Structure 1
Amino acid sequence: MQQITVEQLKARMEAGEKLHVLDVREDIERADFNIGGTHIPLGRIQSMMIDDIEDLKDEEVIIYCRSGNRSQQACLMLEHMGFKNTVNVAGGMLNWEQKFGR
């Protein structure tokens, strides 16, 4: 697992890079604020319900949550399922909001 800062992620998004971003927060958190990407709550990953992203095993997958803890867990779980390039967003959306607002 690698780490990415919110500044690095935002710069890559603004540059128009085709990114595979995964939000592992709960529905209510995502409804409140999100930066896009595929939504698969951590519980679904824990249950191995990852059909939506199965084809990304060889791609970079950037994962975010509220603070960076659940996304780190998701990175580790996905690595055990064969994902080769997981990236945790350090500090999660709390850090994003602090740096850039909503």
Structure 2
Amino acid sequence: MENITVKEVSERLANGESFHFIDVREIWEYEEDNLGARNIPLAELPNQLEELTSLKNEEIIVHCRSGARSAQAQMYLKQQGFTRVVNMTGGIVAYREAGL
């Protein structure tokens, strides 16, 4: 599975690079702190799959609090035929700890 570091994500966001960014944490977690990604809680991902179908061959970076739920989301999306799903290792915790 492909991974990306928080530093790489930060740089790509700062450079305005094009990719789809999905936060799979719960809504309350997202409301407390977010990086501007689209919020689709992990448990809701199967229900939102149809909305994401047009992104099957586009780059999607997923993240969560620490990287575990986003790894599950990455695996699930790959099983559903999404070809370019990347997990942000360490999640928002690592992002904030890095001072980004």
- Band the TM-score falls in, shorter-chain normalisation: over 0.9
Match of 1:96 in 2: 95
User: TM-score of the superposition, structure 2-length normalised?
Assistant: 0.94
Distance (whole Å) between structure 2 residues aligned to residue 50 and residue 23 of structure 1: 14
- For structure 1, which runs of at least 5 residues remain unmatched after alignment? none
Aligned residues: 100
Task: Provide runs of 4+ in structure 1 moved above 6 Å.
Answer: none
Match of 1:58 in 2: 57
User: TM-score of the superposition, structure 1-length normalised?
Assistant: 0.92
Match of 1:70 in 2: 69
The alpha-carbon deviation at position 18 of structure 1 amounts to: 1.5
Match of 1:81 in 2: 80
SS at 1:79 equivalent: helix
- For structure 2, which runs of at least 5 residues remain unmatched after alignment? none
* Kept in 2: contact 1:13–1:19 (CA 8 A): no
SS at 2:98 equivalent: helix
Identical positions, percent: 38
